[in-house]
Structures are given as structure tokens and as C-alpha cells.
């Protein structure tokens, strides 16, 4: 078998952890498999580098920010290759550019266009181990780019697809994907498997255990992803195609995201084209709009409320204030202490009353719902951030997900 393994920050956080990681790789080779490895920076390192930038400049050139943060992964790739060689394994570190990760030039959130990694296959066939820096690539001009926070997951799945691996094993600090973040609900249950579709909702609704784009890629190319722990080598959770024979519970899990802010533009003259007039400039500013609610009032005016990532809150408010004047709207309001809680599950297709049950549970806890959005397999509510943990725990219990 050919396997791509990815090690997150905690698996390469120190010399000891890098040594332990090298042993896992050695065991994989010893059992007759071909291995390529993708590494993250040591845990905390990417944040440290970004803080250095922030302490120097409010508006740094993003090309240089990428040049800086990409160094975190170069350190761990080289150290791991050194350790593997010490164990008698031929291993080479490769930067994103050397490994053939071609991206668009959009610094700090570049998308992978192509992975030209045939040269790595040759190493793997000889029993050698390419150790590739996650999170980074190179644009057409040769500039270093990065793929967005948590991007090493995406590097790993993309590499697995490029070298035609049998699976992509993601090693982290939890031993699987749980029904909710085990850090806030100790009663969360580990899943044996989860469909790409559900995992995509989990990830995009805030479960940071896998970067959303890694799941998208896995789904598109049907690459099995095995999420497991490097601290405890038990079987983890497989993210794969849906198994249609399975009996489904009402919901599979609960996700939350604190990285949210809510903005409202009030009293816009209600006429065709206003949504386009508002969301056009927002999209041009590269701000990701999520939940949207439009209220039509009686006097020919309308209010538009939507959520954006918290980081983009100030920029969105400034932009809307400008639009407000131009469109002769009444005012702009905002709140950057909201969060999103979601219930997810393909079981919703066959069970009715799931959304109502969610609203009842939140009402019982006296939690006010500010916005609601649904899809076939999820219900999301926006609420005050201080209620996140209470909401997650009550929903987890009410839907029978607690570990017994």
C-alpha cells in the first residue's frame, strides 16, 4: 500500500515528538508500505510568527507574511528528515515548491491548482521517504504562498491524490472525529466512520479537526482519510463515501464556530437589485458572507443582516457605512460577539421535527436564537457567544449523543 501521512503541530512540537513520529513512519515502512509525509509547523509556531508580524505592522505585504509563516513547516520537515536518516531511512525534506505544489497567487489563502509530484513517487518506490512541508505552495511567478490556517490537511490530501495513495492518514492529538469537540464536551463519542458529506458540514461549520478544503478534495477524488492520534495508535475515524445501509440517528453531531460577527444594514429602499448592490462590494473585498436574513418592512424599506468572519468585522462595517450613504439606507449596526452552533446529520433526511427539537432545547435553556439557516443535512443558529458551550452540551445530550 502507498500511504500519505500528515502530522499536525502537536505531533512535531518538540524533538521528542519528532522522534516518536519518526518511529510511527518506520513502523509503516517495516510493514511493507510506501510512505510520503506532510508536516505542520511545531504547535504554536505559526501563531508566534504571525504575532511577530502584527507587532511590526498593521498592513504588511502579504507576500512577506507568507514568506515568513512558511518557515515553520520548513523547520519540522528538515528535523524529521534528519531523524529518519538517523534511523537508517533515506528521507528528504521538500518545500511546497520543491514538492510541486502550484497555487494561485492569492497570498494567505491560496488555492492549489496542481500538484506535480511524480518525482516523489520515485523516492517512495525505492523505500525512501519524502517529507513535505504542509500549508505552502508556489505561484506562477515563483512566490511562496500559503493555503490558509489548518492548510496542511489540504496539502496532505492533495499529495495523496497526486501520488495515487491508498489512503491519507492524518495524525493529530485526538484519536478520531467525535460527535462534538471533545474539548468542550467530555461525553462526546468517537465515530468509526463519517461520510465526506457530513464531514464537510462539520468542518465548514467550525469543527477545526480537518480543514474544509481537505474534505472537499477527498470527496471529489474519493480519497479515504483516516483521522487518528499520534499519541495513541488505535484505529481512528475513517472519512469515506456514505454507507447507504446504515440506520441513521436523527443527527450525527454538533459543531460550533466562535469566529463570527453579525452586521445589519437597516432601512434600505426595497427595490430589485439591493442584495446585489450590497453583496457585490463585500465579495470584491474578499469577505466571506455566511448566514443571510432579509426582513421586509411595511414602509417600502428592508433590513439586511448577515454574518462574516470576525476578522473581517471592522472592514465590513466600514464598507457598509460607505454603502449606507450611497444607497440612502438608515443605519449600519454590528455585533462581533456572536457564534454559530449547528446540528448535522444525513439522518435529517428521514427524520422530521429535528429543527423544532433543536429550537425547543435552546428555548428551555433560555438561549435566544438570532438567526437560523438550514440545509438538507444541517440546522445552524446564530446566538450570543457566551451561550456556545451551554448550547452545544444541551443539544448533544438532547439528541442522545452522550457517551453512556
CA distance 209 to 200: 11
Nearer to Mg ion, 171 or 387 (CB): 171
CA atoms within 13 A on the CB side of 369: 21
Of 65, 89, 92, the closest CA to residue 78 belongs to 92
Nearer to ligand ASP, 211 or 252 (CB): 211
For residue 36, which phi and psi values (nearest 5 degrees)? -120, 150
β-bridge partners, 308: 261
150 binds Mg ion (CB under 5 A): yes
One residue of 10, 21, 144, 305 binding ligand ADP per CB under 6 A: 10
Interface mask (CB under 6 A) for ligand ADP, residues 208-227, using x and -?
xx------------------
C-alpha grid cell, residue 103: 497555487
State the CB neighbour count (10 A cutoff) for residue 300. Answer: 10
Report helix angle 45-56 to 71-86, nearest 10.
Answer: 150
Q: What is the DSSP letter of 403?
A: -
One residue of 7, 101, 135, 256 binding ligand ASP per CB under 6 A: 135
Judged by CB under 6 A, the chain residues 171 through 210 that form the site for ligand ADP are 172-174, 177-178, 180-183, 207-209
CA distance 333 to 317: 8
Q: Choose the stretch contacting ligand ADP; rule: CB under 6 A; options: 17-25, 70-78, 128-136, 170-178.
A: 170-178
Task: State in angstroms the smallest separation of the CB of 173 from ligand ASP.
Answer: 12
For residue 263, which phi and psi values (nearest 5 degrees)? -130, 150
Judged by CB under 6 A, the chain residues 60 through 119 that form the site for ligand ASP are 72
Nearer to Mg ion, 210 or 320 (CB): 210
Nearer to ligand ADP, 88 or 186 (CB): 186
Size of the site for ligand ADP (CB under 6 A): 18
One residue of 130, 134, 182, 206 binding ligand ASP per CB under 6 A: 134
CA distance 48 to 44: 6
β-bridge partners, 85: none
Task: State in angstroms the smallest separation of the CB of 242 from ligand ASP.
Answer: 26
Give the residue carrying C-alpha cell 504588511: 60
CA distance 151 to 364: 39
Q: Choose the stretch contacting ligand ADP; rule: CB under 6 A; options: 79-87, 112-120, 159-167, 169-177.
A: 169-177
C-alpha grid cell, residue 110: 491560496
One residue of 10, 21, 46, 342 binding ligand ASP per CB under 6 A: 46
What's the sign of the alpha-carbon dihedral 121, 137, 91, 45? negative
For residue 225, which phi and psi values (nearest 5 degrees)? -115, 125
Contact 24, 171 (CB under 8 A): yes
345 binds ligand ADP (CB under 6 A): no
Chosen from ligand ASP, Mg ion, ligand ADP, none, partner binding at 151 (C-beta under 5 to 8 Å by type):
ligand ASP
Nearer to ligand ADP, 150 or 347 (CB): 150
User: Strand 129-133 and strand 91-94: pairing?
Assistant: parallel
The end-to-end CA distance of the chain, in Å, is 37
Nearer to Mg ion, 150 or 345 (CB): 150
Judged by CB under 6 A, the chain residues 140 through 169 that form the site for ligand ASP are 149-153
Interface mask (CB under 6 A) for ligand ASP, residues 1-20, using x and -?
-------xx-----------
The footprint of ligand ADP (CB under 6 A) covers 8-10, 40, 43, 150, 172-174, 177-178, 180-183, 207-209
The footprint of Mg ion (CB under 5 A) covers 150
The footprint of ligand ASP (CB under 6 A) covers 8-9, 40-41, 46, 72, 134-135, 149-153
Amino acid at each position: 500500500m502507498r500511504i500519505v501521512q500528515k502530522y499536525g503541530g502537536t505531533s512535531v512540537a518538540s524533538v521528542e515528538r519528532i522522534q516518536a513520529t519518526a518511529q510511527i513512519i518506520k513502523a509503516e515502512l517495516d510493514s511493507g508500505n510506501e510512505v510520503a509525509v506532510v508536516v505542520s509547523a511545531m504547535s504554536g509556531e505559526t501563531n508566534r510568527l504571525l504575532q511577530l508580524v502584527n507587532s511590526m505592522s498593521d498592513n504588511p505585504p502579504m507576500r512577506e507574511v507568507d514568506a515568513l509563516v512558511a518557515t515553520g513547516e520548513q523547520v519540522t520537515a528538515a528535523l524529521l528528515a534528519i531523524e529518519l536518516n538517523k534511523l537508517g531511512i533515506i528521507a528528504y525534506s521538500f518545500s511546497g515548491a520543491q514538492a510541486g505544489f502550484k497555487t494561485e497567487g492569492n497570498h494567505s489563502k491560496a488555492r492549489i491548482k496542481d500538484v506535480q509530484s511524480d518525482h516523489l513517487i520515485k523516492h517512495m518506490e525505492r523505500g525512501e521517504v519524502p517529507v513535505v512541508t504542509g500549508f505552502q505552495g508556489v505561484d506562477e511567478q515563483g512566490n511562496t504562498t500559503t493555503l490558509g490556517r489548518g492548510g496542511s490537511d489540504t496539502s496532505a490530501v492533495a499529495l495523496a491524490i497526486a501520488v495515487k495513495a491508498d489512503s491519507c492518514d492524518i495524525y493529530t492529538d485526538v484519536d478520531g472525529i467525535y460527535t462534538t469537540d471533545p474539548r468542550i464536551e467530555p461525553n462526546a463519542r468517537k465515530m468509526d466512520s463519517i461520510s465526506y458529506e457530513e464531514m464537510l458540514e462539520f468542518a465548514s461549520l467550525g469543527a477545526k479537526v480537518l480543514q474544509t478544503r481537505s474534505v472537499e478534495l477527498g470527496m471529489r477524488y474519493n480519497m479515504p482519510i483516516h483521522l487518528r492520534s499520534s499519541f495513541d495508535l488505535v484505529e481512528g475515524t475513517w472519512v469515506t463515501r456514505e454507507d447507504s445501509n446504515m440506520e441513521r440517528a436523527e443527527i450525527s453531531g454538533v459543531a460550533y464556530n466562535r469566529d463570527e460577527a453579525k452586521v445589519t444594514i437597516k432601512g434600505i429602499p426595497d427595490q430589485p437589485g439591493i442584495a446585489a448592490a450590497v453583496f457585490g462590494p463585500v465579495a470584491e473585498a474578499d469577505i466571506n458572507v455566511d448566514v443571510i436574513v432579509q426582513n421586509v418592512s411595511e414602509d417600502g424599506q428592508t433590513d439586511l443582516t448577515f454574518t462574516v468572519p470576525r476578522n473581517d468585522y471592522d472592514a465590513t462595517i466600514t464598507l457598509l457605512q460607505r454603502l449606507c450613504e450611497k444607497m440612502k439606507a438608515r443605519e449600519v449596526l454590528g455585533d462581533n460577539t456572536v457564534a454559530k452552533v449547528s446540528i448535522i446529520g444525513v439522518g435529517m433526511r428521514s427524520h422530521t421535527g429535528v429543527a423544532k427539537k433543536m429550537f425547543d432545547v435552546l428555548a428551555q435553556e433560555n438561549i435566544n436564537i438570532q438567526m437560523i439557516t438550514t440545509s438538507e443535512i444541517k440546522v445552524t443558529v446564530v446566538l450570543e457567544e457566551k451561550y456556545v458551550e451551554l448550547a452545544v452540551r444541551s443539544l448533544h445530550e438532547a439528541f442522545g449523543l452522550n457517551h453512556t
